Chains A and B, each alone.
Chain A
C-alpha cells in the first residue's frame, strides 16, 4: 500500500468519525435549544389563558390559528394532574395536514369546573431549521473531505517527489559504476537529510567495496603465490630421482589437489567478478563457431569416452565478453562430458532463441532448484560445484535464462537468449 493511500485512508476514517460525532452533538444541542424556545412560547400562551380566565371568569375561545392550536376538555375534578410538556402530531387546520407539534397540557379551574387546557405549537419550522443546518453541515463536511483528498493527492505527490527521485537513484545504484548518486536540492528537511544520508552511505559502500576488491585481488595473489611455489617445488622434486610407484602416485595426488585448489581460487574470483559486473568489453561473437571450436578442442576427450556427439548449429551472433562466452560453452560442454557414461550421447542444438545441450548420464535428475547453487554437486561428481554457478551468473549478467530439465534419461541445460 502506498504511503499516500494509507495516509488518505487514515485521515478519511478519522474525519468521518469526528464529523459523525460532532454532527450528533450539534444536532442534539440545536434540537434542545429550539425545543426550549417552543416551550417558552407555550408557557407565554399558557400565562395569557390563565390571565384571561382570572379576568373574565371564563375560558378564551378554543381554536387554531397560524402555527398554534388551543383546545379545552372538561375533566373529572378528582383527576387533577401536573402540567407537562410533550411531543405529538396534530392536525393543522390552516395547512390542512398533520404536522409534528409540541404541546403543553395543564388543568385550569373555571368557576368550580376543572378543564384540561392543551396548547400545541407546530414543530415544523424548527424541524426545517434543523434539517437545513444538518444539510449545510453535511455538504461542508463532504466538501472538506474532498478537498482533503485532493490536497493529499496533489500536494503529497509533489512533496514526495524528492523521495521518489532518490529512490530511483538508489535502485539504479551500481557498485561498479563510476558515477555517484546525484543529489537534487530539496527544501524539506527530512528529504534533505535522507539525501545526505544516502549520499554518504553510497560513498562509504563504494569505498568499502573498493577496499574489498583490492583485498580479493591481493588475497588471490597471496594465495596463488604459495600455490605456485608448491607447484614449482613439485616440478623440481620430480626431476631429482626416480620414484617408486607408490611415491609417484602420492606426487600425482598432490599435483591434482594443487590444481584443484588453484582452479577453485580462480573460479571464486571469477564469480565475484561477474556478480559485481566487473566484466566489460563486449564484442560480437559467432556462437556457432565458438561451439564448433570447443567441440574440436574436446574431440579427444569425447573419443576416449566413446561419446556420440550430435550438433545442430544455426548461425547465431551474440554480444558478450569473449572470455565469458568461452567459459559458458566450456562449462556446459565439459559438464556434459564429465557427467556422462562411456558410449553415451551428447546433443547440442543452437538456434536463434536458445542453446540446448543435453546428455545421457546418471539415472536420477539433479535437484532443480539447487543445481545452480555454489558448491552443489551430487555424490558422484568430482568437480568443485562452481561451474554451473558461474554459468548461471554469466547468463544473469546478459539477461539470458539458464534452466535445467531431466527427461527420458537425458539431462538438458538450456540457455534462452
Chain B
C-alpha cells in the first residue's frame, strides 16, 4: 500500500517509515504544509497520516484541502492534541481515525490496515495470512476449512497480530489495543498472557501452525515459521 506521512518531527518520521517500509509498502513523507499540499494534489495514497501541528499551516487545513478536491484517500490524524474538540472536528471533516501521541507503532499500523481495508474498492473484507482467513465483515475466522470460534478479544488480538506480523508487539501495546488507554494496566500484564495462551491453543487445535512467539520481557511476535 502507498502511504503519505505528513509529520514535522524527523525522528518520529524515521521510526514510522522504518516500521512501515517493508513487504512492498511505499511510504512517502511531507515535512510541512506546503509540500504536503503539493503531494496531495499530485498523487493518490491509500492512507495519509496527518499531524495537526505543522510548520507553515494547520493540519486541519490539509484535511479540508483533501476533501475539497474529492480525494478518496484514507486519512488518519496523528496528533499530540488530546482535546476532544480537535478529535470531533477531525472526524467531522472526514478523517477516518484519530490517534493521539504517543502511540505504539503497532497500533498505528493496525489502524492504517483497517482504514485501507475499509477503503479498498473491491470490497476486500478478507484478511489472509498463510492458512488463516479472516472475514472482517462477518468477523469469522477460518483455518483452511475449519471455522474457528473466537471470543471478541481473541478475534481483535488475531487481527492485530496479523496487521503487525513479523513485528515484535509489546504487552502494553496489546493491552491498550484491547482495553483502551484509559486504564493503566501495567501491573496486570499477566492476564494478557492468558488471552494469548487461549488464542494460541485454539489456533493450534484448528490445525494452524504456531505463529505466536513469546519474546521474554518485551512482548510477542506473530511470524511465519
Contacts and interface: CB of A to CB of B under 8 A. Distances in A.
Interface of A: 217, 220-225, 227-236, 238-239, 242-243, 245-252, 255-256, 258-260, 262-263, 266, 269-270, 273, 279, 281, 297-298, 300-301, 303-305, 323, 326-327, 330, 334, 338, 382-384
A238 B219 contact: yes
B82 A239 contact: no
A67 to B, nearest CB: 100
B71 interface: no
A229 B11 contact: yes
B187 interface: yes
Contacts of B195: 300
Interface of B: 9, 11-12, 15-16, 18-19, 53, 80-84, 100-106, 153, 167-168, 170-173, 179-188, 190-191, 194-195, 215-219
A323 B84 contact: yes
B16 A245 contact: no
Contacts of A301: 179, 185, 188, 191
A252 B218 contact: yes
Contact of A233 (B15, B106, B153, B180): B15
A291 to B, nearest CB: 15
Contacts of A223: 80
A383 B184 contact: yes
A224 B105 CA distance: 15
Contacts of A221: 53, 80-81
A250 B217 CA distance: 8
B9 A225 contact: yes
Contacts of B188: 301, 304-305
Given A235-B19, A297-B180, A338-B187, A255 B172 contact: yes
Most buried by B among A223, A281, A304: A304
B168 A238 contact: yes
A221 B181 CA distance: 18
22 contacts: A217-B81, A217-B83, A222-B80, A225-B9, A228-B9, A229-B9, A229-B11, A231-B103, A231-B105, A236-B19, A239-B168, A245-B216, A246-B217, A252-B218, A255-B172, A259-B186, A263-B181, A269-B82, A279-B84, A300-B191, A304-B190, A334-B184
Given A238-B215, A243-B218, A256 B186 contact: yes
Nearest to A257: B186
Contacts of A297: 179-180
B182 A327 contact: yes
A276 to B, nearest CB: 12
Contact of B101 (A224, A233, A279, A330): A224
A242 B183 CA distance: 30
Contact of B215 (A243, A262, A279, A383): A243
Contacts of A382: 184, 186-187
B12 A232 contact: yes
Contacts of A305: 188
Q: Give the 4 A-B residue pairs with the shortest CB-CB distance, closest first.
A: A248-B217, A304-B191, A224-B80, A232-B15
B10 to A, nearest CB: 9
Nearest to B187: A382
Given A232-B15, A243-B215, A301-B191, A256 B104 contact: no
Nearest to A241: B168
